[in-house]
Structures are given as C-alpha cells and as structure tokens.
Amino acid sequence: MRALVLGGGGMVGQKLALHLSVHGLGGEPVELTLHDIAFPPQPLPGVNQIVGSIADAGTAARLARTRPDVIFHLASIVSGEAEANFSKGWAVNMHPTWALLEALRAEHEADPDYCPRLVFTSSIAVFGGPYPDKISDTFLQAPQTSYGAQKLICETMISDFSRKGYIDGISIRLPTICVRPGAPNAAASGFFSGIIREPLNGQEAILPVADTVRHWHASPRSATGFLTHAATLDTETLGGRRALNLPGISCTVAEQIEALREVAGNDPVKLIKRQPDPVIEKIVEGWPRDFAPERAKALGFKAESSFKEIIEVYLEDDLNAPGP
Amino acid sequence: MRALVLGGGGMVGQKLALHLSVHGLGGEPVELTLHDIAFPPQPLPGVNQIVGSIADAGTAARLARTRPDVIFHLASIVSGEAEANFSKGWAVNMHPTWALLEALRAEHEADPDYCPRLVFTSSIAVFGGPYPDKISDTFLQAPQTSYGAQKLICETMISDFSRKGYIDGISIRLPTICVRPGAPNAAASGFFSGIIREPLNGQEAILPVADTVRHWHASPRSATGFLTHAATLDTETLGGRRALNLPGISCTVAEQIEALREVAGNDPVKLIKRQPDPVIEKIVEGWPRDFAPERAKALGFKAESSFKEIIEVYLEDDLNAPGP
C-alpha cells in the first residue's frame, strides 16, 4: 500500500514514518512518501522525501495524482505562528486542505474506485471556553485562535467530502503531545514538555504558569498509535461524525512535576524555575483541560493511563533511544 | 448609515429591505443597497439594486470598497441545490464569504476605523443527529449536508475575523422560515409552508411526511427582527461565541394543521393531501426538531409564541397585505 505523510518532516511525522516503515500498516508493508518544507538531516531508510510547501499552487494536485491509498495530513504551522501571521495561517492551514480535497475528488471522479483514507490531525484548539469540567463528545466547537478555526474548517470540509464518498476521511483532535523530544519549539505549550525534558537532560527549565494549571496530554508514541488506528478503523462506525476527541491524560502542572519526582527523584525537579509569564498564562487559560472521550475509547483509541507513563515513554523512546 | 444586503432579492432579503427602508436601523435612516443575481420585477423605492453573482471574481472586493456600515449576508443557494450540485454549493456558499472577509480586512487595514457589522444568516443545518430532545447552546455542530458544512465554515471564518478585530460579525442560525409567501420553492422543507399557504389560498397542498414530524419554525417577520436585532446588539456580550441558535416554535405537523384549523376552520384543512415521499421523509428525518436557545433569548432575540401566531403573521403580512 502507498502512504503519503504531509508534514512528514516534523516530530510526529517522523515518528509515524519510522513506525510505518518498520511495521507497515494493517499488516501490509507501506511504500512511504513524506512531504514537508524541511526534513531532519538524516533521511529514514527506504522512505521517499519530497521537499516543498503544501501551500504552493499545484502541489496538492501533484500529490493527489500519485493516488496514495492513505494520506496522513499533519501539515500546518503552529498555533502561535498562525496567530502572529494571520494571512500565513489561512494560507497554510486552510486553503491547501481545500485544494487537496478538490484534487482527490478529481482523482475519484476519474476513477470511482479511488477513495483514499485521509487522516487529518486536528486539535483540541477547536474548542473554546467556558468549559464544563470534562468536555464531552457532544460539546460545541468554538475556537478562540485562528489555528483552531482553521482546524475546525478543515474537519468540516473533510467530513463533507467523505459523506459524499469522494474520500474516506477522519479527523483526530490530538491532545497536547508531551514529552516532545529535542530542542524547545516556539509553541506557547512548549513548557509542558520543557519542564520534564530539560530536567531529565540536566538542564534548567522555565515554568511560566502556576502549577495549578490543568491540561490534556498524550505521548508521541500515542500520537503514532492514534494515526495508525485512524488509518485502519472502519469509518462506517463513525456515523456522520468524523471528528473525534482522543483519549489523553488530564493533569495539573503540579501532578506533572510529582510524576517527574517519582520517575527521576528530587534533583531534576530542582531544575524547574518558576518565572510567571502573563502572556503565556493568558493563552493557556483559554485551553481545554479535561475530556470524556467516550467515542474514541469505544472505537479503540488508546493513550497512556498516567503522566508517569508519559514520562516513561519519553525515557524509552527518546532520552535513552539510539538517535535516528 | 449605509447598509448592504447580499442576497437582497430573495424573500427574506426583500422583507428586510422593506423594513430598513421604512424604519431605518437603530433609529438612523439607512442608505440601502441590495445585491443579488435577480430581483422581483418591482424594485423597492429609494433602494439601490446591483445585479450580479457574489461568486464572480472581484465582486466581493468591489462591494467591500463601498465600505458599508452594516452588511447583511443572506446570499446562498438552498440546501437541495448545494446537495445536487457539489461544486456550485462550495463556489457560492463558501468561497465568496472568504473573499468578502479578505476584502473587508483590506479595507480595515487601509483605515483601521473601518470595522463593519456583518450579520450572517446561518442555519440549523449546522447540526446533525442524533439529537437530544432539545438542542442546547453548547451542542456540537456536525452538519450532514454540504449546505450545513458551508454555513458552519462561514460562521467559523466570521468569528475569527471578528476576534482579530477586522470586522464585527455575528452569525444567526435561522429556524425554518414559515409561512413563506408566494409560489412553492424547490426546498425539501417547502411543505412546512405549503400545507398552510396553499389551503389559505384555496389550493390543494401535498404533505409528504407523517404528521408526527416535529420541526423548528419562525415567521418571515421574526427573520427581519432577528436580522435587525443582530445588526444593532452589543457584540461584546457574545463573548467568544458569535454564532447563535435563535428562538422559534417547535411543533409537529399535526400541531401545524391544528393551528390552521383554529385560524381558518375545517375547509382549508381538507385541502391537505397526504402523499408520503420517502426521499423527503429521509431528508427531514435528519433535521433538528427542538432547541433551548437560552443565549439568544437572553440577548433579546424574539420569535412567535405559538404556531397559530405564525399563521396570523402570514395573514397580516402577506395574504391580506397589499402587494409591493
């Protein structure tokens, strides 16, 4: 089977690609192509890489013409950048999805047997407060960032193209992925990973919010599991609701820190420096904190069962893993 | 003040235009321009008409350059047509809204004082079943038609452009407007009006569904009220949720017929012919039936208090009214 990963150069894309190239998908080997604006210096063996922007005219159509069986659509700029650069946000996070869907529909119309599975990484940013204690599967979407609005719009298009039978799409609203390996990124959510990762690497980490802040997490390993499960499940079971809140771990920053202490002792915890940042505090205040993702659980999506387990996944898969 | 009505040639657009030209808006006289692909033969006095398609390249930008203070965006093709003609649905019901928003943003960036009120007529078609008994203000949007998907996407764009301060938008999800005056239209919902209007005009009407079918209604007079109220309310009170479920009357077809009997006696009721249509039955089965629109009520939106009142509005405003 042929799989295409849009945004295949990013952290989650690379982990997914490694998984697919080793394990295949649904018991079948995968001929894998990654597309992104940039890739890590060391390409994965046996994996095709295409460098380019999904926002460039003609790119979506060119990729659709290769008729992948499965498309993982992870390509987007992050929330902070979409907020700072309004035009770029819509140009990268919304319009190319429309172009891709129209290109896939054209392929389907040329050959009605062609109806690819499209797995779209949406986000809990489609939600906006005020929130109930736990966000249920029937809670309204009311994004409070351009990124969230763009994700909701892509979900909505994907559902409608799927309902009409042009593609077979599913949107998965990822929790914040934590612990992100590697260097800090510019995301406002970066500290959720930073306060675990930096101390485990013997480095100081800044905590810009109060430790009562509650948030919704899953590991990069779970993200790969979500993606491959979404690529292989029977979409008939989704009814008309093809966007899913995924399982995760809801915990406070204090609970994250406590889990770090349990796993690694007191010394790493001492490396966390409290340095409140009102800008980040305000952004984070608007984010979802807890979910009751019953549908996704019933459909077989799985995340960790504690934040401690999330840290252990980081130790196994990243800190102590041989580099790629 | 200058107001622009997109879709100003349609039934609701014409009623709104008549109201604005007589009463003004918020105590101020209105210099009114209507835009649509076609208009009734007799133009409203003192009202500018522009014939054209909102989907034509450059139209949105040309209209934005006139810098209306208030824009009522009612322009769309109906649900049935958007379902039958997929490309046309997106080309008319989605892309021009994007073009309009970008054009208004450009005007705002040229003159930061320019931030028009945009009132968008969305629809209860943004929802999809299964439904609770009453749809609350926090129930998820999961459209099951292209029309509903397009409305949800426009709402989401309008909210985000508003959040950024480029426009001051509000989306109102209209109930089914009933009793529609004039000739039957092609909408699958047409019979809800037809079974009242035709008998009151001494003509036979076809009822294609069971009389246990429950639906959500408001009169054309209420529609005008919704639009003018949305154009003048303080949008700060909306918080981050600029799309509203509006009040209406939830009743069964049997209750509609009973109200007709109360208002006009037995003879009109005998003109209703039951002729089940499985296609229409299936479409209607997917529609919302009842709401608890607490936010809109608290914000001062008002509909009728009974279906009988909806019929009386038809008698006063249309059946017995002098023609335009």
Give per-residue pLDDT as tens, A44-81. Answer: 999 999 999 999 999 999 999 999 999 999 999 998 89
What are the tens digits of pLDDT across the range A191-235? 999 999 999 999 999 999 999 999 999 999 999 999 999 999 999
State yes or no: pLDDT of A246 exceeds 90: yes
Percent of chain A with pLDDT over 70: 99
Instruction: List all residues 6 or more positions away from A179 whose beta carbon is below 8 Å from its beta carbon.
Output: A193, A196, A197, A219, A220, A310, A311, A313, A314, A318
- Give the CATH superfamily of A2-174+219-245: NAD(P)-binding Rossmann-like Domain (3.40.50.720)
Residues from chain A that touch B142, judged by Cβ atoms under 8 A, are: 159, 240-241, 243
User: Which pLDDT belongs to residue B185?
Assistant: 76
User: Which pLDDT belongs to residue A323?
Assistant: 54
For B198, the enclosing helix (H) or strand (E) is: helix B190-200
Catalytic annotation, pick one of A114, A131, A147, A314: A147
Residue B147 annotated as catalytic: yes
Under a CB-based contact definition with an 8 Å cutoff, are residues A20 and A3 in contact? yes
State yes or no: pLDDT of A89 exceeds 50: yes
Q: Each residue's pLDDT tens digit in chain B (324 positions)?
A: 999 999 999 999 999 999 999 999 999 999 999 999 999 999 999 999 999 999 999 999 999 999 999 999 999 999 889 999 999 999 999 999 999 999 999 999 999 999 999 999 999 999 999 999 999 999 999 999 999 999 999 999 999 999 999 999 999 999 999 999 988 877 788 999 999 999 999 999 999 999 999 999 999 999 999 999 999 999 999 999 999 999 999 999 999 999 999 999 999 999 999 999 998 898 888 999 999 999 999 999 999 999 999 999 999 999 887 654
Under a CB-based contact definition with an 8 Å cutoff, are residues B76 and B120 in contact? no
State yes or no: pLDDT of A324 exceeds 50: no
What are the tens digits of pLDDT across the range A115-133? 999 999 999 999 999 999 9
Contact between chains at A159 and B140 (C-beta distance less than 8 A)? no
Residues from chain A that touch B163, judged by Cβ atoms under 8 A, are: 144
Contact between chains at A128 and B164 (C-beta distance less than 8 A)? no
Interface test mutation site (partner B, options A126, A127, A140, max chain B beta carbons within 10 A): A140
What is the C-alpha to C-alpha distance for residues A144 and A135, in angstroms, rounded to an integer? 16
B105 alpha carbon, distance to own chain's centre:
25
Task: Point out the residue among A128, A157, A160 whose CB comes nearest to the CB of B240.
Answer: A128
| Binding-face residues of A in 131-190 toward B, CB within 8 A | 132, 137-144, 146, 149, 152-153, 156-157, 159-160, 163-164
Task: Point out the residue among A141, A144, A146 whose CB comes nearest to the CB of B141.
Answer: A141
d(CA B256, nearest CA chain A) in Å = 30
φ/ψ of residue B102, rounded to 5 = -65, -40
Partners of residue B274 on adjacent β-strands: B207
User: Which pLDDT belongs to residue B323?
Assistant: 54
d(CA B48, nearest CA chain A) in Å = 33
Residue of B nearest to A90 (CA): B157
Which residue would you say has higher pLDDT here, A153 or B285?
A153
- Count Cα atoms within 13 angstroms, Cβ side, for A294: 6
Question: How does the average pLDDT of chain A come out, rounded?
Answer: 96
CB atoms within 10 A of CB B280: 19
Contact between chains at A86 and B164 (C-beta distance less than 8 A)? yes
Question: What does DSSP say about strands B31-36 and B48-51: parallel, antiparallel, or unpaired?
Answer: parallel
User: Which pLDDT belongs to residue B183?
Assistant: 85
Question: CATH fold of B2-175+219-245, please?
Answer: Rossmann fold (3.40.50)
Q: Where are the domains of chain B?
A: 2-175+219-245, 190-215+249-290+304-319
User: Which pLDDT belongs to residue B150?
Assistant: 98
φ/ψ of residue B71, rounded to 5 = -120, 125
CATH fit for domain B190-215+249-290+304-319, picks 3.40.190.170, 3.90.25.10, 3.30.70.270, 1.10.630.10: 3.90.25.10
Count of A-B CB contacts under 8 Å: 63
Instruction: List all residues 6 or more positions away from B157 whose beta carbon is below 8 Å from its beta carbon.
Output: A149, A153, B97, B98, B101
User: Which pLDDT belongs to residue A322?
Assistant: 61
